[in-house]
A and B are shown apart, each in its own frame.
Chain A
Amino acid sequence: MASLVRTPMRWATATAVAVLLVAAACGGTTTSSSGTSFKGTRNIGLDIAITGQSALYGHAISQAVKLAAADLNASGGVAGYKMQADILDDGTDVNKAVENTRQLILQDNAAVLIGQVTSAQCQATSPISKQNKIIFMAATCNSYQLTTEPDLINPYYFSVVPNTYMEGTSAGTLVGKLPSVKNIFIVSPNYLFGRSETSAFVAQLKKSAPDDKIVNPQSTWYVPYPTNPRWDSTIAAIQASNPKPDLIYSNIFAADQENFIKQALAVDPNFFQKYPMTTLSSVDDLNALQSSYPLGMHLYMRAPFFSLTNSKLTAYINHYRATYNGEYPSDWAVMDYDAVMTWAKAANAAGSLDSDKVSKQLAGHTFSSLRGYNFTLRTQDHQANVGETVGTTSNASGSKYPFPTLSPVTNLSGNNIIMPLDLVQELQAGQCEQGGKPTTTDFALCPSWKG
């Protein structure tokens, strides 16, 4: 009896309190430290993995978004509004990401959403952004299906990160060029991202080097994700493999990558000399293992600051380090900052936070990036023609950084690796699906790929 009676009273109390708070908070306009007056405050909604498997990345991302908000406010806000970073933790969990996204939109009235780490999460949260017409800036999750699969196409979704087609095929091209590599062992996480990128790699490899062989059966390519933190079975399988692999192709990341490398090195300190490996990586991953990170690893990275030297980036590095205790901005910190700034520029151009108006200022427009070049968000799939950095880990830069950097290193240009438009069109038209099932959209099934 007690609690039920309280409920209507609780509404009343809550209303009263809320009214008081609102009255106190917005008695008119708020002012920033520089004395600018804003129309009000709006939220940049970030639901990200502060805990869980991808916590390593979530840390950098949340810091970058907060920094971006502060920088925007220091220069007058966005379309007259003060911006606030509204950050929620999803624990790298898909379900929680969905819950949080709804909360960010419905309860916190976010003006823009920044995408999650994993493609599984983005796959689940993009439809919510679409339903509620809120712009979704993806800077981490990158499966190409997110912008080309018919059921997932979201007019408010924009990607400033190289997608799995770009990453996977560029890896396939590079590996195909290596003459000493004939046998390849694949290790990939079993969810949309892993599948998307690995199949892109395999499809490209088949074209670039048809004689190259994948030595482990397809059913063992994908490891359950989130993974068992123990990799001894995979390590044993690699050792037991016959023929012996010349290269391990992988796209495991964050905690999984860290665990795998550590455990492999424990089994054999020369593991990665015996079995060279190519994998997705980032400054966060390098920094996690620091001097223990193996040398001679062939990495593909999305925005490593040490290989993309330019004045904007240098300024950002100093700014970031000064704000965050000397930490180096990882790839995610670079890309997510780009994401927020890109959206802000478009919103300022539109003079409004309305998603439809801002979208018009995003699609087809060009923006500058901390990565040292300008990129354009294509109208067809809202994908930016951003580049990818590939290289081999070495100590060439001496002890400048606590982790190894890449040398030799190549910055692949976005225009060379971006998905050709005819593929985009065929994918979006649903012409590249296996037996009509939506979740198996695969560019390798597209007529223009096959033909």
Chain B
Amino acid sequence: MNASQFLLFAIGGLANAAYLFIVAAGLSLVFGALRVINMAHGSLYMIAAFVCVVVANTLGATLGFWGGLVAAVLVAGAVGALIEIVVLRRVYRQEHLVQLLGTYALTLIIAGLVRIVFGPDYRTMKAPGLFTGSVQLAGHSYALYSFFMIGAAIVIAAGVYLMLYRTALGRNIRAAVSDPELLNASGINVARLFTTVFVIGAALAALGGVIVAPSQAVGLTMDTDILVLAFAISVIGGLGSIVGSVVGALIVGEVISFGLANSYTNQFALAFVFIIMAVVLVIRPWGLFGAAEQ
């Protein structure tokens, strides 16, 4: 493999890592602060993708994507808030199994509703004009949109980081992540904080769905496809850590990209991701950047 081929697969992996990171970051944040595994995270991603496609196709070429983005984030955020208030609040104190099952039930309900509302067909949308086109680099072509995805992920990562480390809300979230007991004693309105965090997580899932929608067909299996990868990334990077989500996404994205490129590993590229996930869980269960539970 020469340098320009390497670049080809590396950038492909980065583009994958981009949208995977955004989705995984939401899952990880929700787990870190709320200690809840949200199986419905992929469903929120899927809702956002569908809403974005429908709105974008209705609004047309120029306004489409951005209008779709806003609509998708709003809808996913609203659904997220609803989920948190109606379902999650009842299961916070219960065992993980109850949370898993409750959110799994939501996955079924949302998938069913999406099918009823949007129909069973795959849908596609065009990328925003600004990011359509291709770029020649070292003798190979790259979709400009791939670079947009990477750029968007960087911007979102920076945004989340700033939110966590420069705002009062972020401070409260970090407190929730590191010391839940203290949080109860601190006078912060915990219920409102939890809802806010969950909505942020939903918004991140939505952003992931919106960003990926122009580059692939949007269909009803999106929720389960993304979820298991988001789990893998969160485990590898560390549940509750944004830096971990970045690193985890990079690892997973590149492993898949290079795994698929190599003729010996082609069939098992995804399997490698799960092997890494298993190894991390055995050796360092809290992930590369997670905090060891006392």
Q: A residues within 8 Å of B by Cβ?
A: 50-53, 55-56, 58-59, 89, 91, 190, 216-217, 219-220, 222, 224, 226, 228-230, 232-234, 236-237, 239-240, 255, 258-259, 262-263, 266-269, 271, 288
Residue from A50, A91, A219, A267 with most neighbouring chain B CB atoms (10 Å): A267
Q: Do the beta carbons of B134 and A269 come within 8 Å of each other?
A: yes
User: Is B154 part of the contact surface with A, judged by Cβ < 8 Å?
Assistant: no
Q: For residue A396, give the distance in angstroms from its CB to the closest CB of chain B.
A: 25
Contact digits for B202-227, partner A, Cβ 8 Å, 1 yes 0 no: 00000000000001110111100100
User: Can you pick out 29 interface pairs between chain A and chain B where the beta carbons lie within 8 Å of each other?
Assistant: A51-B120, A51-B219, A51-B220, A53-B221, A55-B219, A59-B121, A91-B220, A217-B263, A219-B266, A219-B267, A229-B219, A229-B225, A233-B12, A236-B5, A236-B9, A236-B12, A237-B260, A239-B141, A240-B8, A255-B122, A263-B143, A263-B215, A266-B134, A266-B144, A267-B142, A267-B146, A268-B134, A269-B133, A288-B124
Q: Separation in Å of the B6 CB from the closest CB of chain A?
A: 9
A217 (CB) vs chain B CBs: closest residue: B263
In this assembly, does B93 line the interface, its C-beta being within 8 Å of a C-beta of chain A? no
Given A216-B263, A268-B141, answer yes or no on A258-B217 (Cβ-Cβ < 8 Å): yes
Instruction: State the Cβ distance, B3 to closest chain A Cβ, in Å.
Output: 11
How distant is the Cα of A236 from the Cα of B132 in the complex, in angstroms? Answer: 18
Interface size class, chain B: 35 or more
Complex formed: what's the CA distance from A259 to B145 in Å? 15
Cβ-closest chain B residue relative to A235: B12
Pairwise interchain contact A240-B140, C-beta atoms closer than 8 A: yes
A229 to B141, CA, bound (A): 20
**A220 contacts B263, CB within 8 Å?**
yes
Contact across chains for B143 and A240 when beta carbons are under 8 A apart? no
Cβ of A244 to closest chain B Cβ, rounded Å = 11
Residue of B nearest to A240 (CB): B5
Q: Residues of B contacting A59 with CB < 8 Å?
A: 120-121
Which B residues fall within an 8 A CB radius of A?
1, 4-5, 8-9, 12, 15-16, 115, 120-122, 124, 127, 132-134, 140-146, 215-217, 219-222, 225, 256-257, 260-261, 263-264, 266-267, 270
The chain B residue with its CB closest to the CB of A190 is B267
Q: Do B132 and A262 touch (CB < 8 A)?
A: no
Question: For residue A232, which residues in chain B have a CB less than 8 angstroms away from its CB?
Answer: 12, 15-16, 146, 257
Q: Among the listed B16, B115, B134, B264, which residue makes an inter-chain contact with A51, where contact means beta carbons less than 8 Å apart?
A: B115
Question: Residues of B contacting A262 with CB < 8 Å?
Answer: 124, 215-217
What are the 9 closest A-B residue pairs judged by CB atoms, nearest first?
A268-B141, A51-B120, A233-B260, A266-B143, A217-B263, A229-B216, A240-B5, A232-B12, A267-B143
Most buried by B among A217, A226, A240, A288: A240
Complex contacts, A228 vs chain B, CB 8 Å: 225
The interface residues of chain A lying within 8 Å CB-to-CB of B124 are 258, 262, 288
In the complex, A268 Cα to B266 Cα: how many Å?
24
Contacts of B146 in A (CB 8 A): 232, 267
Q: Kindly state the separation between the CA atoms of A341 and B233 in the bound complex, as whole angstroms.
A: 52
Smallest CB separation, B227 vs chain A (Å): 14
Report the separation of the CA atoms of residues A271 and B134 in the bound assembly, to the nearest whole angstrom: 10
Residues of A with C-beta under 8 A to B145: 266
Residue of A nearest to B5 (CB): A240
Query: For the complex, what is the distance from the CA of A51 to the CA of B12, rounded to whole Å?
Result: 29
Residues on A with C-beta less than 8 A from B221 are: 52-53, 226
Asked whether, in the complex, the Cβ of A230 is within 8 Å of the Cβ of B143, the reply is no
Report which of A53, A226, A266 forms a contact with B215, defined as CB distance below 8 A. Answer: A266
Per the bound structure, the CA–CA distance linking A217 and B266 in Å amounts to 10
A50 to B116, CA, bound (A): 12
Complex Cα distance, B267 from A262, in Å, reads 24
Q: Are B266 and A229 in contact (CB-based, < 8 A)?
A: no
Residue in contact with B261 in the complex, picked from A58, A226, A240, A269, CB distance below 8 Å:
A240
Which residues of B lie under 8 Å from residue A237 when comparing CB positions?
Answer: 260-261
Residues of B within 8 A of A259 (CB): 216-217
Contact B263 A219 (CB under 8 A): yes
For A50, what are the chain B residues with a Cβ–Cβ distance below 8 Å? Answer: 120
A56 / chain B contacts, CB cutoff of 8 Å: 121-122
- B264 contacts A219, C-beta separation under 8 Å: yes
Q: Provide the residues of chain A in CB contact with B263, threshold 8 Å.
A: 216-217, 219-220
Q: Which of B144, B216, B256, B261 contacts A263 (CB 8 A)?
A: B216
A55-B121, A217-B263, A236-B261 are contacts. A229–B217 as well, Cβ < 8 Å?
yes
B8–A239 touching, CB < 8 Å: yes
Contact call B217/A267, Cβ cutoff below 8 A: no
Chain B nearest Cβ from A340, distance in angstroms: 22
Cα of A309 to Cα of B261 in the assembled complex, Å: 44
Contacts of A58 in B (CB 8 A): 120
A55-B122 in contact (CB<8A): yes
Chain B nearest CB from A211 CB (Å) reads: 23
Complexed CA–CA distance, A224 and B270 (Å): 10
A55–B123 Cα distance when bound, in Å, is 11
Known: A268-B134, A269-B134. A52 touches B261 (CB 8 A): no
Q: Which A residue's beta carbon lies closest to that of B229?
A: A228
- B140 with A255: CB separation less than 8 A: no
* Docked pose: A233 CA to B8 CA in angstroms: 9
In the complex, what distance in Å separates the CA atom of A288 from the CA atom of B124?
A: 9
Q: Considering the chains assembled together, what is the distance between the CA atoms of A390 and B132 in angstroms?
A: 32
Q: How far is the CA of A84 from the CA of B178 in the complex (A)?
A: 62
Q: Are B215 and A220 in contact (CB under 8 A)?
A: no
Chain B residues closer than 8 Å to A55, beta-carbon distance: 120-122, 219
